[in-house]
Amino acid sequence: MPYKEKKVEKLFYSIGEIAEMFNVNTSLIRYWEREFDIIKPRKNKKGNRFFTSEDIENFHLIYNLVKERGMTLKGAKKKLKENREDSVNNFQVVKNLKTVREMLLEIKEGL
């Protein structure tokens, strides 16, 4: 199997980078920040938001619940408050399955 270089992760990401990752507008990122208390970006003196990798994981959870599974914001908030571990576990399983699928497709193309 060929060597794959690990991606270099930054400590902080701007709101524009987050919006680009999820292919959404920055206004949606700001809205989710206000609505979900699990997202707490750091702000500098100018008020610019800087998100950590933990915030990105929380955005992945929210995006999965709202955009991919079709839950309402109220339903997603309730699910994250009452049963966060289950949501995290389900998200991790889906993420792992997507990774395995990508690897299998790469192997198929190599044959």
Rounded to whole angstroms, the Cα distance separating 74 from 101 reads 32
Rounded to whole angstroms, the Cα distance separating 53 from 89 reads 18
Which pTM was predicted?
0.69
Residue 101's identity, in one-letter code, is: R
| Full set of structural domains in the chain with CATH | 13-110 (1.10.1660.10)
Asked if residues 71 and 79 have their Cβ atoms less than 8 Å apart, the reply is yes
Q: Each residue of 63-111: pLDDT tens digit?
A: 888 888 888 888 888 888 887 777 777 777 877 888 888 898 888 888 8
The CA–CA distances, whole Å, from 97 to 9, 80, 104 equal: 22, 22, 10
pLDDT at 82: 80
